[in-house]
Copies of this chain bind each other. A is one copy, B any other.
C-alpha cells in the first residue's frame, strides 16, 4: 500500500481558503472550537476520544512535493502564485491546542478541542480534526453504553469486518477500549496500542474437518489452555454434548446464532453436568447494548460478549455532527469574538472553558460554559468544579507526555462512575445541564446586536 499523504486528507476548500487568505495577506490569529451542537438522540453523553491521533497529525503535518505538484495541477489553482506553493512547502503547524482529555464525558456545545493559530494553519487542519474526533468519540460513546449494559461482564470488540474500512476497524478498537471494552479481535490494534486481543474460531474451521469433534480436538491441540470453541455451526446443543462426551475442556465456548438466552442456559447445564463448570460461555452475533441488557434481564448465563457491527459502526447513531467554528480573531492585538447567526446554527463566541460542577458525593452536577479568560464562575470554583480543557499542544509541540491508553481507560471508568445515574440509562434521559456563564451570555448578546445593526 502506498503510504498516505495526510496533508491532502482534507476538503479542498481548506486549501482554496488558504490560498485566498494568503493572497489577501490575512495573518490574523484565529481560534476555532470543535463541538457538537446537540447530542445524538440516542446518546445521553459523549466520551471524548481521538485526541492522540489529532495531536500526532498536528505535530507531523507537512506537504510533500507530490502533494504540491498535485495541487498545482488542479485547474482551480491555475492562477495561484508560486509564493503560495512555497508557503505550503515550508508549512508547519505552529499553534496551540486546548482540549478535553480523552476518556472524559462531554455534552452539547462544549468545545472538545480549541485550536489557536494563524488563520491559515487553524483552518487547514479542520477536516482531519473533525474526522478523527467525530469518529473516535462516536465509537467511545457507543462502547460506553455497551459496556454499561454488560454489568461488569467483558465486552470484546469484534467489528473490524463491518467497520468502514481497515483504519476504521483499528481506531474503533482503540475508542472502544478507552470506553471500557476488555479488548478487541483486531490484531493491528494490539500491535499499535497494546490492546488485549482475543480470537476464537470461525464456522469455516469447523467445516474444514470431517466432523465437528475432530475440528475441536485439532484446535485444542494447538491452543490447549485458551481455546474458545465455536459451537453453533450445525447444532449448538449437540456440539456442547459432543464436547463433554469427548472429554474436551475448552476455556470457553461461543454461541453466535439462535435464541441466545435459551441456548446459553441449555449449554450451561450440559457443561456443568459434564464437569465443565470452568468453561465460560461467550455470546456474539448482532449484539448491542439493548440485546445484552435483555439477555442479562433473562438471566442468560453468558460470561462475556463479542460485539461487532453495531459497536464498530455506532449502528444506531452512525455519525456525530461535530463542527469546527471560528470563535475569535485577533488582528493587530485587537481581539473580537465571532459567531454565525444563521438560524439554528448559532454558536457562542470567544475562546471557552468548561467548568464541571461536582456534588459533595463527587457526582457530576452540571457544566458551565464560560469564557476562557474569565475566572471560575463564582458558584463553580475548584474544588466544587473542575476546568475540563487543558493545554495539550503549544508552538506546534505536545505539552507533556501523552497518557498511556490504560490510564485513559482508567480515568474514563472513574469519570463514567461520576455521571448521574439517569444518563446511563439506555433510554433518552433528561439532559445533563450545560449553562452559559453570565459573561459569555453577554458576549453572545452583544454580537447578535452587532449583527442585527449591520444587516439592517
Residues of A participating in the B interface, judged by any CB pair closer than 8 Å: 1-6, 8-17, 19-21, 23-24, 26, 28, 30, 32, 56-57, 60, 66-67, 70-71, 74-76, 79-80, 119, 123, 126-128, 130-132, 134-135, 158, 160-172, 185-188, 190-192, 197-205, 207-209, 211, 218-219, 221-226, 232-236, 238, 257-258, 309-310, 313-315, 318-322, 324-326, 329, 338-345, 451, 454-455
Contact = CB atoms under 8 A, between A and B. Distances in A.
Given A76-B226, A208-B28, A321 B12 contact: no
Given A192-B2, A208-B329, A161 B130 contact: yes
Contact of A186 (B11, B190, B319, B454): B11
B135 A165 contact: yes
Contacts of A10: 160, 186-188
Closest 8 CB pairs of A and B: A12-B199, A318-B318, A167-B167, A164-B164, A13-B199, A204-B326, A130-B161, A164-B168
Contact of A234 (B185, B235, B341): B341
A202 B342 contact: no
A128 B166 contact: yes
A28 B205 CA distance: 12
A190 B69 CA distance: 12
A170 B4 CA distance: 10
Q: Which of A4, A71, A128 has the most CB atoms of chain B within a 10 A radius of its CB?
A: A4
Contact of A187 (B8, B24, B223): B8
A163 B162 contact: no
Contacts of A204: 17, 30, 32, 123, 324-326, 338
7 contacts: A79-B224, A131-B163, A164-B172, A166-B167, A167-B168, A234-B341, A235-B341
B199 A76 contact: yes
Contacts of A225: 79
Contact of A321 (B162, B201, B314, B338): B162
Contacts of A313: 164, 318-319
Contacts of A209: 26
B4 A223 contact: no
A187 to B, nearest CB: 4
Contact of A162 (B26, B162, B192, B320): B320
Given A11-B199, A16-B199, A24-B218, 12 more contacts: A1-B4, A9-B166, A10-B186, A11-B158, A12-B187, A12-B198, A16-B201, A30-B208, A70-B187, A208-B329, A211-B454, A233-B341
Q: Which of A119, A164, A197 has the most CB atoms of chain B within a 10 A radius of its CB?
A: A164
A187 B11 contact: yes
Contacts of A232: 342
A197 B15 CA distance: 11
B24 A221 contact: yes
Contacts of A236: 342
A324 B235 CA distance: 20
Nearest to A138: B164
A233 B326 CA distance: 12
Contact of A135 (B16, B163, B455): B163
A164 to B, nearest CB: 4
Given A1-B6, A9-B188, A119 B222 contact: no
Contacts of A128: 166
A165 B132 contact: yes
B233 A20 contact: no
A32 B319 CA distance: 33
Contact of A17 (B163, B197, B201, B238): B201
A310 B317 CA distance: 11
A381 B199 CA distance: 45
A342 B234 contact: yes
A257 B338 contact: no
